[in-house]
Amino acid sequence: MAETELEKAEKRYAQAKARLQSIRNREATKQRKLDTRRKVILGGALLDLAERDSGAATMLDRLVRNLAREQDRKAFADWEAPTGSPSPARSSSDPDTPS
């Protein structure tokens, strides 16, 4: 029995809908990977800064201590936060210091 015009159109529609969903899934995966990459980069930058800046080290320690999820806190159970060097005091001649 030959396919009717309606059956052919429904088949094309289903195939197009499947292709669209596949494209959406690929885009969502791409965005999740980019989000994860950004988080890893920022996490590394924060750890690096905390090794050089005691204010950042204090903030990092506070962030870890205040993690809401138990499984997240367990990931840091045996981790020691960087101590950081004291931040240099800004002088009044520093252009970035607000007046």
Q: Domain locations in the chain?
A: 5-69
Indicate the residue type of 45.
A
Per cent of the chain over pLDDT 90 is: 69
* Structural tokens at position 85: 């060097």
Residue 84 above 60 pLDDT? yes
Whole-angstrom CA distances from 13 to 4, 6, 10, 19, 20 are 14, 10, 5, 10, 10
User: Does 88 have pLDDT greater than 50?
Assistant: yes
Residues 6-54 have pLDDT tens digits of: 999 999 999 999 999 999 999 999 999 999 999 999 999 999 999 999 9
Q: Enter the pTM of the model.
A: 0.65
- Greater confidence (69 vs 97) lies with 69
